[in-house]
Amino acid sequence: MKSTAILIAEGDELLRRDLKGRLFHHGFQVTEVPDRTDVLQLFLHRKPDLVIIGSSPANDWDELRVAEQIRQREREVPLILITRHSSEARVAAALRAGVNDYFKVSFSYRDHWTEGKISGEERGKDNQKAKPPVRGGQG
């Protein structure tokens, strides 16, 4: 049986890797694309069963335009939008563009990863300080 193919079009490398890893872990075939210039071509070539479209952290490409381009060529494939900027107007625009589901990322993956790394390093330092000194054996 063929595994479900998912195309992730996400500009944030950390979010894209995280999504890919989680989906791959559950048995999905995952293709990722970091740049909007390749999304449509890759979509037409791979014909995925699901497309997850994200916005880049710098917001340098319009994920709604990508959704519209895909929807113009394929009416049935589910489109999920992951965005950092949300409003009622944006939700309405996403639905008009043909998006099936819409999620707002409530934090920056890059900030979260950096905070977690710093926190982990601090915990490591604390653990080193808390260890009792090694004493020689009793004779």
With tokens 């107007």, the residue in question is: 89
- Which of 4, 57, 7 has the alpha carbon at shortest distance from 32? 7
Residue 116 lies in a domain: yes
Residue 133 lies in a domain: no
Record the pTM: 0.72
pLDDT at 80 (0 to 100): 94
Residue 42 lies in a domain: yes
A 10 A CB-CB count for 66 gives: 23
Residue 56 lies in a domain: yes
> What crossing angle do the helices spanning 88-97 and 63-73 adopt, rounded to 10°?
20
pLDDT at 30 (0 to 100): 95
- Domain with 29, as residue range(s), is 5-124
Q: From first to last of the 139 residues of the chain, give the pLDDT tens digit.
A: 678 999 999 888 888 898 899 999 999 999 998 877 788 999 999 999 999 998 755 554 578 888 999 999 999 999 999 887 778 888 898 999 999 998 887 655 555 444 444 444 454 554 454 445 445 554 4
pLDDT at 2 (0 to 100): 76
Segment holding 80, helix H or strand E: strand 79-83
- b/e code 93-123 from CB counts within 10 Å (16+ = b): bbeebbbeeeeebeeebeeeeeeeeeeeeee
Contacts of 6 (CB under 8 A, 6+ apart): 23, 28, 29, 30, 31, 48, 49, 50, 51, 52
Residue 70 lies in a domain: yes
How many structural domains comprise the chain?
1
Residue 72 lies in a domain: yes
pLDDT at 108 (0 to 100): 53
Residue 21 lies in a domain: yes
pLDDT at 125 (0 to 100): 52
The CATH number given to whatever domain includes residue 85 is 3.40.50.2300
Residue 137 lies in a domain: no
pLDDT at 119 (0 to 100): 45
Are 49 and 77 a contacting pair, CB within 8 Å?
yes
